[in-house]
Amino acid sequence: MDEQQAKQRVEELHDLLNEYNFAYFVKDDPLVPDSEYDARLKELEELEREYPSLKTMDSPSQRVGGIVLDAFNKVQHKTPMLSLGNAFNEEDLRDFDRRVRGQVGDNVAYVCELKIDGLAVNLRYENGSFQRGATRGDGETGEDITENLRTIRSLPLRLREPVSLEVRGEAFMPQRSFKALNEAKIERGEEPFANPRNAAAGSLRQLDTKMAASRNLDIFIYSIADLGELDVATQADGLDYLDNLGFKTNGNRVRCASIDDVISYVNEWMEKRASLPYDIDGIVIKVDSLVQQEELGTTVKSPRWAIAYKFPAEEVVTRLIEIELNVGRTGAVTPIALLEPVQVAGTTVQRASLHNEDLIKERDIRIGDRVIVKKAGDIIPEVVGVVESERTGEEQPFSMPTHCPECGSELVHLDEEVALRCLNPKCPAQLREGLIHFVSRHAMNIEGLGEKVITQLFHEQLIADVADLYRLTKDQLTSLERMGEKSAQNLLEAIESSKSNSLERLLFGLGIRHVGSKAARLLAEEFKTMSALQSATIEQLVSVREIGKKMAEAIVLYFDNEEVQTLLEELSSLGVNLTYTGSNRATVEDSDSFFSGKTVVLTGKLEHFTRQEAKDAIEDRGGQVTGSVSKKTDLLVAGAEAGSKLDKAESYGVTIWDEERLKEELQK
């Protein structure tokens, strides 16, 4: 076979394999046995090896991954990816309908589509060939995840027509893929993903595309972002056109002639959602006519012609087996409910924060109770009540201990805090949590030193404080479970590299009470050296912009501690930089932070942070913390005894986190 004949055969195999892919992964109706598909794919790969010039980026052979990326580049969206306004009940839907008809008249129809719980993506095709895919990001700018998207079998690399267009879709992880992934992670001793949405997002942000390919993701395309010269008049026609091009759209959509029909569709799927092989968290309702969509226009954040109906938080009943205590980095002791495993909103829940003793008493929660569990905003597991009618009399009331469960030190209340705290600086739990914080992304940023490795090192008594990290040897690391020589060497290099970090990272990593990463940078800029900061008075500290008396007192108290002074001397002798270089300031406020450009509200009583610490940490990462919830709020962090702000956030469909979720994000 000469090159011309090979080229012709490669084109034939492209068409054949694309058709097989479409039938199998989009239509769920295989045309040939797997062995036939594998044989044709092998033939294609052999021809591409023999004639490398015939290997193209839209070849069916390019779905297995194999590229290792350095990072994800930023992508500016040609058309902004707006978020949707939310509806939570029938009245909200009727209000939406009244607003629409008030602007475009009564002759209006809607298209209802299932709201897939995954990751929104934007795809660009040129002359029918897939060129680039990106995440939503902040709506204006996303991340280029093209290579990982190529691994999704239901995403066409070449369309049936040579058109150029941008489309939007939702990449997701089917439940069978999620189950298999978590079973494998558990078998390896790793923490399973909390839900398919997180698993899908994590898979598409893998730098190793083979890892993304192994996750078996799927995708539904739901709109054309840039119509260009396309002759499409309605949303329904647009979806049909996408079908004809070879895209996978969701077949459960329906065109509704009235808002009553919309409400019937919503109620139908509220009952049927559990029967689907993937997760949905609501219904998207769009005005069908594209002319009417243009007439209705958009706000800064969302289109006026569409709304997302969010399913109400699912409540289930399970048994409270035990209450365990978690000691955090700052010594706060938090009670955690251990539950009989139960499915809530698509994920298995076994643990839920009980916040503090006051909440437990207020809700009269007892060990052995049948309790009601829900996820606030479909995210946070929470014990919201007790089924008193099922009590047997054997349930046990719970009381917080008087002494730390980790070290035995007496627990105290500081100021007017609800939380009990352990003040022992040698408390093992605090030391372990402090080490995890020290190596985290916005502190010393030691890649490869995650929570599991720190916990192993701590339990093996290889480290007791942060200075011990800089004494680790290759032999010590390779003695750990699942730590090979290459991983150990990479980790040692990362630890060595962290020695040159600028002072603000070390200050933040030390975990001084009330000092977030922003305050650490301001202090480093002002005092330049650790020595100068150590000798600073309260008066000198409060003269620094944004440093208040409470923070200044905490700093002076911290540096007065002889153990701290010894630790700093050890770090210096080990070669850790103690001066401000200004060299990595940008990484503290990097724009790829989750919080960048987001409006955040804090409510309730926080256990692990003071309100100011949480505010500083969020603002350091590009977020804005405000005092009230509005439709412009992006995130609400709810501590114990969260009240009306939580209710308002739920009514607006604002993303809701508990303090543990905030802590996880701040440690990335």
Structure tokens given for 609 = 């942070």
Distance CA 262, CA 17 (A): 39
Q: Are 501 and 577 contacting, i.e. CB atoms less than 8 angstroms apart?
A: yes
What DSSP element (H or E) covers 178?
helix 175-187
Helix 175-187 to helix 196-204 angle (10° resolution) is: 80
pLDDT band at 585 (very low <50, low <70, confident <90, very high): very low
For residue 583, the model assigns a pLDDT of 44
With a cut of 70, say whether residue 283 has pLDDT above it: yes
Structure tokens given for 643 = 């009240």
pLDDT in tens, 519-532: 898 999 999 999 99
For residue 589, the model assigns a pLDDT of 41
DSSP designation for 208: B
Distance CA 583, CA 533 (A): 19
Going from the C-alpha of 528 to that of each of 171, 491, 516, 582, 657, the distances in angstroms are 47, 29, 17, 10, 36
Active site residue 248: no
Structure tokens given for 653 = 């469909």
Closest C-alpha among 216, 308, 314, 319 to residue 274: 314
Q: Angle at the Cα of 10 (from 7 to 14), degrees rounded to 5?
A: 140
pLDDT in tens, 56-69: 878 888 776 556 56
With a cut of 90, say whether residue 582 has pLDDT above it: no
With a cut of 60, say whether residue 234 has pLDDT above it: yes
Q: What is the DSSP string of 321-379?
A: EEEEEEE-TT-EEEEEEEEEEEEETTEEEEEEE---HHHHHHTT-EET-EEEEEEETTT
Least-confidence region, from 28-32, 116-120, 303-307: 28-32
Region 189-197: mean pLDDT is 76
CB atoms within 10 A of CB 92: 17
Reduced to 3 states (helix: H, G, I; strand: E, B; else coil), residue 92 is helix
Region 536-547: mean pLDDT is 91
What DSSP element (H or E) covers 567?
helix 562-573
pLDDT in tens, 235-261: 999 999 999 999 999 999 999 999 999
Report residue 256 CA to chain centroid gap. 34
At which residue do the structure tokens 């008809």 appear? 101
Instruction: Tell me the residue length of the chain.
Output: 668
Select the more confidently predicted residue: 123 or 358: 123
Least-confidence region, from 215-224, 342-351, 552-561: 342-351
Region 531-546: mean pLDDT is 92
Order the strands of the 110-116 sheet from edge to edge.
Answer: 85-87, 306-310, 280-287, 110-116, 254-256
Select the more confidently predicted residue: 26 or 101: 101
Region 397-406: mean pLDDT is 92
Region 448-453: mean pLDDT is 88
For residue 584, the model assigns a pLDDT of 44
Distance CA 645, CA 628 (A): 7
Least-confidence region, from 320-329, 477-486, 584-593: 584-593
At which residue do the structure tokens 């800064």 appear? 300
pLDDT band at 380 (very low <50, low <70, confident <90, very high): low
Q: Are 382 and 375 contacting, i.e. CB atoms less than 8 angstroms apart?
A: yes
Select the more confidently predicted residue: 277 or 646: 277
CB atoms within 10 A of CB 487: 15
> What's the mean per-residue pLDDT of the chain?
86
Distance CA 291, CA 297 (A): 10
pLDDT band at 330 (very low <50, low <70, confident <90, very high): confident
pLDDT above 70 coverage of the chain, percent = 93
Structure tokens given for 230 = 């396309």
Distance CA 586, CA 605 (A): 31
Q: Are 639 and 605 contacting, i.e. CB atoms less than 8 angstroms apart?
A: yes
CA dihedral (354, 356, 357, 363) positive or negative: negative
Distance CA 475, CA 472 (A): 8
Q: Are 400 and 354 contacting, i.e. CB atoms less than 8 angstroms apart?
A: no
Distance CA 194, CA 211 (A): 18
With a cut of 60, say whether residue 232 has pLDDT above it: yes
Residue of 27, 55, 78, 115 with catalytic role: 115
Structure tokens given for 497 = 């590299």
Closest C-alpha among 597, 585, 523 to residue 554: 523
Q: How far apart are the first and last CA of the chain?
A: 54
Distance CA 30, CA 35 (A): 12
Least-confidence region, from 3-7, 169-173, 492-496: 3-7
Highest mean pLDDT among 352-366, 618-632, 636-650: 352-366
With a cut of 90, say whether residue 138 has pLDDT above it: no
pLDDT above 90 coverage of the chain, percent = 44
Map out the domains of the chain with their CATH numbers.
3-63 (1.10.287.610), 75-310 (3.30.470.30), 315-397 (2.40.50.140), 587-666 (3.40.50.10190)
**β-strand partners of 348:** 343
Q: Is 549 exposed, middle or buried (0-12, 13-18, 19+ CB in 10 A)?
A: exposed
Structure tokens given for 470 = 């800089």
Against a cut of 0.85, is the pTM above it?
no
With a cut of 50, say whether residue 588 has pLDDT above it: no
Distance CA 653, CA 283 (A): 13
